[in-house]
Structure 1
Amino acid sequence: MVAVILAPSPGIKVSFEGHVVHEYDGDAGTISVIPANTKGDVTWSSACEKVIVTVPPPRFLELAQHEFGVSHAILRPPPLGVIDLRALHIAEMLKAELAREVPNKIYIESLITIFGVHIVRNHASVDKRPSSRKSSGGLSDRSAGRVREMLEARFSSKITVAELAAVSGISPRHFIQAFAKTFGEPPHRYVMRLRLDFAEKLLVESVLSIAEVAHLSGFSDQSHLTATMSRYRNRTPRQVRQQR
């Protein structure tokens, strides 16, 4: 479970087995990362506004696998009272969407996933295990699976060749050639296809604006999405939306 304070609350006390172990002022952005099966009590001296997101252990491990290609991951909660401005921003976006008369389910699920990935990246330790290359010069089945999962989980954000190569267990110098031999296209084309597929899905199934779709799909703005879709799909976002 992860809790992020939205409005300041002084006098927070955290207790375990009846003993106060820490007391601090809860400023906006203060984050609490609580691993599963951890018992404790939290009391506030005044009203506190917060967003709480629960991530079941299987989902946490799935996010860690997608993010780093690890066999396991362990949460490393930050010290009590630490402020996480990135988590605060995501929490505020969640609050704003949930406060709408008709919240968008796809948007909420996307924000929760982004929130979970942020926790994995910043508040977990991981165990990376290298995999071997196929003698043909392509990626091994294991490496290809890890790369595919990583790209499908993070296609909307910036991913470097170095990160993908690290997941594969080979050098960045050889990765692009091995990737193209395995997937039939270079990494940037593969990522572009994932982004366009996701953008088309949102355009058809959601009520998000085209600008919002562009942002969630990994494009810099609406114009970037329109130009890219026109080039690779021979149609514009508006034309896709009209097909609903």
Structure 2
Amino acid sequence: MLAGSPKFSFAFESEPYRTFDVTPGMIAVRPFGVEGKANWSSTTDGVVIAISAESMLELAGQEFDRPEVNLRPVSYTADNTALQFAKMIKAELNRPDHSNELYLDSLITVLGVHVLRNYSNAGKPEKVGKGGLSAAAATRIRDYLHEHFSRKLTTSELAAICGLSPGHFTQAFSKTFGCPPYRYVLERRLDFAEKLLSETTMPVAEVAFLSGFSSQSHLTNMMKTHRHKTPSQLR
């Protein structure tokens, strides 16, 4: 929840409704197959994240090496960490120049790890070292991103290439390359777009598509923000 809501009612399954005042930062966790129901009488503001049961099990296996994990139902409790993720997710979704899919996937993945660590039987979290990727892993992921930067990528996919859990991968990648994966991919897309704009007469819309941007306006906005120039200024 991103804002307060007085006299909010919530219940799981056949439980009686519990009525209380919601405050910013409260989180509810509804495991797969568990029904949740809510009523509210005033305007409310929140973020709802739905992660499939299969994805949560895969994430639990990667993070905790557990073949099975059970989330416990949580009926609204204060969670400042979840609040910060919710704010970042909403801000990215509301970007006027299109959201960054890999960045969103990273936020949702790390939020999923947070939920598993705090609201399941997954046990103690993985101990993450302060170091970066090994030289071999850094080479593998660099080569992979330089070949596949223009298509949709996920954090889990990139982590698997390095043989790491998604949570560990994001931290280790940033330590090695000096920026998170989504920013590294964005820079490669911009590099490629600049090359096409400078060396060809290809239409800008086609350059945007081949470089991995969702539209000509998306490319233009990202180039203005991060390279301080427009496609037309490169020609």
CA deviation map 1:178-237 (0-9, x unaligned): xxxxxxxxxxxx996688894643421379xxxxxxxxxxxxxxxxxxxxxxxxxxxxxx
Q: Hey, what does 1:73 align to over in structure 2?
A: 69
Q: CA deviation at 1:36?
A: 0.9
**Contact residue 15 and residue 21 of structure 1 kept, 8 A:** yes
Q: TM-score, normalised by structure 2?
A: 0.56
SS at match of 1:46: coil
Partner of 1:52 in structure 2?
A: 48
Match of 2:26 among 2, 27, 30: 30
Counterpart for residue 203 of structure 1: 187
Does the CA-based 8 Å contact 2:72-2:119 persist in structure 1? yes
Task: State the alpha-carbon separation in 2 of the partners of residues 195 and 50 from structure 1.
Answer: 32
Q: Specify whether residues 126 and 194 from structure 1 end up closer, same or farther in structure 2 by C-alpha distance, changes over 3 A only.
A: farther
Query: After superposition, where does 1:1-244 map in structure 2 within 5 Å?
Result: 5-16=1-12, 20-78=16-74, 80-101=75-96, 102-126=98-122, 148-150=163-165, 153-157=167-171, 198=181, 200-205=184-189
Q: Kindly tell me: are residues 42 and 95 of structure 1, through their superposed partners in 2, closer, same or farther at Cα, counting changes over 3 Å?
A: same
Residues in 2 aligned to 1:204 and 1:105: alpha-carbon distance in whole angstroms: 15
Amino acid at match of 1:34: R
Q: Secondary structure at the match of 1:155?
A: helix
Q: Percent identity?
A: 32
- Which residue type is aligned with residue 93 of structure 2? L
Q: Distance in 2 between matches of 1:75 and 1:17?
A: 15
Given that 2:71 and 2:121 are in contact with CA atoms closer than 8 Å, whether structure 1 keeps it comes out as yes
Structure 1 residues 104 and 34: alpha-carbon distance in aligned structure 2, compared to 1, 3 A threshold = same
**Contact 2:12–2:37 at 8 Å: present in 1 too?**
yes
Q: Report the CA distance between 1:59 and its aligned residue.
A: 0.3
CA 61–28 in structure 1, closer or farther in 2 if over 3 Å, else same: same
Kept after mapping to 2: 8 A contact 1:6/1:50:
yes
Instruction: Give structure 1 stretches of 5+ with no counterpart.
Output: 129-144, 159-189, 208-237, 239-244
Q: Over aligned residues, Cα RMSD in angstroms? A: 3.1
2:8, 2:39 within 8 Å by CA — same for their partners in 1?
A: yes
Instruction: Give a deviation string over 1:132-172, Cα, whole Å, max 9, x none.
Output: xxxxxxxxxxxxx9x9333x5422237xxxxxxxxxxxxxx
Distance 1:201 1:104, change over 3 A: closer
